[in-house]
Amino acid sequence: MDPTVVDRLTRFETRLQAELRSDVAFIEAIGADLAGAGGKRLRPTLAFLAADLVGADEERSMLVALAVELLHSASLLHDDLIDDADTRRGGVAAFRRYGNVVSVMSGDFMLARVLGLLAQSGSASFTQLMSETAARICEGEVLQFQAATLETHDFETYRNVIEGKTAVLLATALEGPALLASAPEPQREALRRFGMAYGRAFQMQDDRLDLLGDEARLGKPVGGDLREGKATYPVLALFDAGVDEPRALLRRHARQPGDVERVIELVREHGADVRAAEAIAAEARDAIAALEVFPPSPARAALEGLARRELERTV
Amino acid sequence: MDPTVVDRLTRFETRLQAELRSDVAFIEAIGADLAGAGGKRLRPTLAFLAADLVGADEERSMLVALAVELLHSASLLHDDLIDDADTRRGGVAAFRRYGNVVSVMSGDFMLARVLGLLAQSGSASFTQLMSETAARICEGEVLQFQAATLETHDFETYRNVIEGKTAVLLATALEGPALLASAPEPQREALRRFGMAYGRAFQMQDDRLDLLGDEARLGKPVGGDLREGKATYPVLALFDAGVDEPRALLRRHARQPGDVERVIELVREHGADVRAAEAIAAEARDAIAALEVFPPSPARAALEGLARRELERTV
């Protein structure tokens, strides 16, 4: 990766640690976990690459990177609780170590810090963008639960879910620096469009691997979504082809041995795996096309590379 | 109450409903619950009274009232989950009806709406104030849990807990209109000081009643805090007087029959009930004194009345 992005990511870690400081020991502990865990820092990377494309200064893109990463971390903490996940990023999920009270409140504490960063940005329009982004993340999460409960399995709902879950925040990480730097409207729109398409490709690939991936590579059993009553792209493509057998499996949360294997078999038999791969490729293509408003540059190439990677990701 | 405040509270309800609108049915349902539940709307009332004292216009104080009430509602939703509370405001706690996912995310959705209101206010300093307020609310909640876990029962921790739980948000409801109307610094500080002192009096009275109140009036058994390992003012006053017997009861969460009665007996025997009442009165007095910077007016009298009510509240 571009060495200047790596440098900025290093400074990002220092700033993140400062944001997570608290006088309350149990909050500090979760913050330290999160700051130490690292992760790919995909969202800050996107903010810095976008800053290069629109010529935003480092401090502005740093505020975006911090606000977006803290919102992401808060939603992971609130997610861990909800999903009853055992582990996240290789460690024990925070809430298991400190209890629900601490994980929900630590997530809220991070959201409070997001407010502070927005105050620092002094930008009502970026604050408004973050408001809409946060609302859509919540709506996506509840919509996923609602769809599983009411069995509303359709492409439109799925698109709303993956946009809320992943795409809107990636788009905001990219659009934020353009907004704060008052970049021309077509550039801002191009970055948002890239983020939404790349985000959909990313989440669709995650969901595809959840069902069709290699268990040894993934380090977890496949079919997790299915067991939680979540219909993702390959399964929706089956319904679309008139194959309704998985509906019953979703309903009883695939508790029978062999259920997941049966769905995988149907998916391959009816070419729903190929349709899912095509849909991912179409999104990646749209993401790359969005960047055509920018002249060639290392930052543009780096973003294109990220979108292209979704075509062949296996883990 | 002042008829103009009542009018503004009516318009507040309409605006609140609009803020809670969502395309996702399960979020709308919780929003409708909350909008319909009404409650005392203490925080909006404080914002409108403060607006009268500093001459802030209705729209500015409305934004404060909405932002503060939504933050309060979000923290109730996240609290219901945490406290495993059966009921809140007379209804079944939202999370029991729709599940954890919906209550945590609906709370987050409200916080997203708070961001939108801050963007509308266009004020970096009010955004910063809300950031600090939200952070202290979380810290107070975690500190209470931490104190119960680590058995750090002292007055300083208790003060921090009740400030986070109640006082900071009341103070922000009052300070917000002064900030948005650029009121003179002494007026802004007076409103904040009133809010903090009144908030401490309010929470200390709630806590006193939790142990020493009348069960028939309260409609719940006394000693709830004690059973959750929370040492409130009367119990801390016992420790301060060298009476350590309740420490053991806090540790085993007062599971033995007669435990709560024993603590109540000790509290009365050692005059810890009187010390608690004195401490509440001192805060109420400080709250009222803070308002002396304002000339007499119906709004000032209304705020004084609220503080005075804490002296004799029984429910």
Query: How confident is the model over B198-247, as pLDDT tens digits?
Result: 999 999 999 999 999 999 999 999 999 998 889 999 999 999 999 999 99
Residue-number span of the structural domain to which B2 is assigned: 1-134
Residues in chain A with CB shorter than 8 Å from the CB of B99 are 145
d(CA A180, CA A67): 13
| Domain edge (last residue) among B76, B105, B134 | B134
d(CA A208, CA A202): 10
Q: Are residues B122 and B1 in the same domain?
A: yes
Q: Are residues B191 and B302 in the same domain?
A: yes
Residues in chain A with CB shorter than 8 Å from the CB of B115 are 114-115, 118, 127-128, 130-131, 134
Predicted confidence at residue B1, as pLDDT, reads 72
Predicted confidence at residue A32, as pLDDT, reads 83
Tell me the mean pLDDT in the region B85-99. Answer: 54
Residue B40 lies in a domain: yes
Q: Are residues B4 and B119 in the same domain?
A: yes
- The CATH number of residue B303's host domain is 1.10.600.10
Give me the residues of B, 64-103, that contact A with CB < 8 A. 74-75, 78, 81-82, 99-102
Residue B234 lies in a domain: yes
Q: Are residues B190 and B291 in the same domain?
A: yes
- pLDDT at B93 exceeding the cut of 60: no
Residue B283 lies in a domain: yes
Residue B11 lies in a domain: yes
| Domain edge (last residue) among B75, B106, B134 | B134
Strand partners, A87: A92
Here the contacts of B136-139 (C-beta below 8 Å, separation 24 or greater) are B136/B163, B136/B164, B136/B168, B137/A108, B137/A112, B137/B71, B137/B75, B137/B164, B137/B165, B137/B168, B137/B169, B138/A27, B138/A105, B138/A106, B138/A108, B138/A109, B138/A112, B138/B164, B139/A22, B139/A23, B139/A24, B139/A27, B139/A109, B139/B164
Predicted confidence at residue A292, as pLDDT, reads 98
Q: Are residues B129 and B4 in the same domain?
A: yes
Rg (CA), chain B: 20
Q: What is the pTM of this model?
A: 0.92
Residues in chain A with CB shorter than 8 Å from the CB of B18 are none
pLDDT in tens, B31-58: 888 777 767 899 999 999 999 999 999 9
Q: Are residues B193 and B114 in the same domain?
A: no
Q: Are residues B112 and A127, on separate chains, in Cβ contact within 8 Å? A: no
Residue B69 lies in a domain: yes
Residue B164 lies in a domain: no
Predicted confidence at residue A83, as pLDDT, reads 47
CB-closest option in A101, A116, A131 to B142: A101
Residue B174 lies in a domain: no
Q: Are residues A115 and B122, on separate chains, in Cβ contact within 8 Å? A: no
- pLDDT at B87 exceeding the cut of 50: no
Strand partners, A91: A88
Residue B282 lies in a domain: yes
Q: Are residues B205 and B289 in the same domain?
A: yes
Ranges in chain A, pLDDT < 70: 38, 81-98, 253-255
Half-sphere exposure of B260 (CA within 13 A, CB side): 18
Q: Are residues B233 and B310 in the same domain?
A: yes
Q: Are residues B128 and B192 in the same domain?
A: no
| Domain edge (last residue) among B105, B134, B163 | B134
Q: Are residues B34 and B98 in the same domain?
A: yes
Q: Are residues B127 and B212 in the same domain?
A: no
In B, minimum Cα distance to A139 occurs at B24
Number of domains in chain B: 2
Q: Are residues B210 and B125 in the same domain?
A: no
The answer to whether residue B36 neighbours chain A at the CB level (below 8 Å) is no
